[in-house]
Amino acid sequence: MQKKPSFNYWLQYLAVSGLAFLATALPVEISHRIACGFGTLTYWILSKRRKIALENIAQALGNSLPDKRKKEIARSAFQSAALSMMELFTVEKIKKEAQTRFALFGNEFLEEAFLKEQGVVLVISHLGSWEYLSFLPYFTKRPWSVVVKNIKNPYLDKAIDSMRRVMTVNPISKDSSVRAIFQELKAGHGVALLVDQWAGDEGLWVDFFDTKTSTTSIPARLSEKTGCALVSAYCLRTAPGHYEIHIEKPIKHDHTKSQ
């Protein structure tokens, strides 16, 4: 028997809804400043998270940067997380002004990838304004899906799902994604996959800042199985409410080596 959502979930949903209303009512530039301030606040309040961030930066960069600069990087990471949430709240406002708020670079590479007519897997990471890569359907006029992890709070999960759909992207639940991904690729559509998350012992082990870590091999396996193209992309914040989407050349997969 499925448990009923707890009262805390309702409170979380109401809090997020209030923040979304506030972000929508205010000018985008002011919402941007508030989000940065909130990110700085969480940097100081969440001491355990701050410690983990600083330890990871120290492990990755060693003594190549002074401690002051490492703390600035960690604080910026907290601000970026807050901005990513704020950007979901303001998605409808941004969409109305998308032509003036976005610059798209490398779309010719994406069109080259779609010429194979076997679908495209967009290989992405939590870099910059990664949620706003969902504006690619708006700019490319092609159907896109993105594989997402369900949020435990069902009210928040539904709300964020609807925010993503404003960008005309189709969210696919990670829990039931395999069949849906194959269907989208078979139809010649695009599917975005985040690859910078821990993939467990069965993942692909690679060197990351001289440390072995596990990442997913799913994009490569999809390309091997379906012949779909692999394309990397990222979205950068250039100013409050302004963005650049960069698309890289398709990644060539040598099918002969995998046979």
- Kindly list the averaged pLDDT for each block of 10 residues, start to end, along the chain of length 259: 68 82 88 92 95 94 94 96 91 91 95 92 94 91 90 84 86 86 94 90 87 90 93 96 95 62
pLDDT, residue 223, reads: 93
Task: Assign 175 to helix, strand or coil.
Answer: helix
pLDDT, residue 1, reads: 44
φ, ψ (nearest 5 deg) of residue 97: -120, 25
Handedness of CA 166, 181, 86, 125 (dihedral sign): negative
The ranges assigned to domains in the chain are 1-89, 100-259
CA dist 169 and 143 (Å) reads 7
